[in-house]
Amino acid sequence: GAGVSQSPRYKVAKRGQDVALRCDPISGHVSLFWYQQALGQGPEFLTYFQNEAQLDKSGLPSDRFFAERPEGSVSTLKIQRTQQEDSAVYLCASSLGIGGEAFFGQGTRLTVV
């Protein structure tokens, strides 16, 4: 596609539910990133993939957060047993290579009630 696509755009989950957020990066982009953006704050790094390899997951806040990119293209961020503090916009970004310009998707706004 023309840009990074994320789905769904909006997700409301009841506390304790599991959610899965999808990211379709720009075709051919090797690097893929997930960021979390709380209201009024800058994006905070969650995890990074180079092709299918998850090279950095230092930003994942707890073991309830899990990300995968099994074929080196589409990625899914899964949050288990959601809590209210998980409410945020989850942004996905991709870049052609290492150190290249990162293109962001529009994000998924997760609200946990």
| Cβ closest to other proteins, residue 9 vs residue 78 | 9
Beta bridge partners of 22: 7, 76
Residues 6+ apart with CB under 8 A from 109: 9, 10, 11, 88, 89
Say whether residue 102 binds other proteins (CB under 8 A): yes
Burial of 83 (0-12, 13-18, 19+ CB in 10 A): middle
Say whether residue 111 binds other proteins (CB under 8 A): no
What are the DSSP calls for 60-104, one per residue?
Answer: --STTEEEE-TTSS-EEEEESS--GGG-EEEEEEEESSTTPPPEE
CB 78 within 8 Å of CB 20: yes
Of 52, 55, 61, 85, the one binding other proteins by CB under 8 A: 55
Report in angstroms how near the CB of residue 81 gets to other proteins at its nearest.
Answer: 26
Say whether residue 40 binds other proteins (CB under 8 A): yes
> Of 14-22, 40-48, 61-69, 79-87, which part binds other proteins (CB under 8 A)?
40-48
Of 21, 31, 60, 110, the one binding other proteins by CB under 8 A: 31
Report in angstroms how near the CB of residue 82 gets to other proteins at its nearest.
Answer: 22
Interface positions with other proteins (CB under 8 A) = 4, 31, 33, 35, 40-45, 48, 50, 55-56, 58-59, 91, 93, 98-99, 101-107
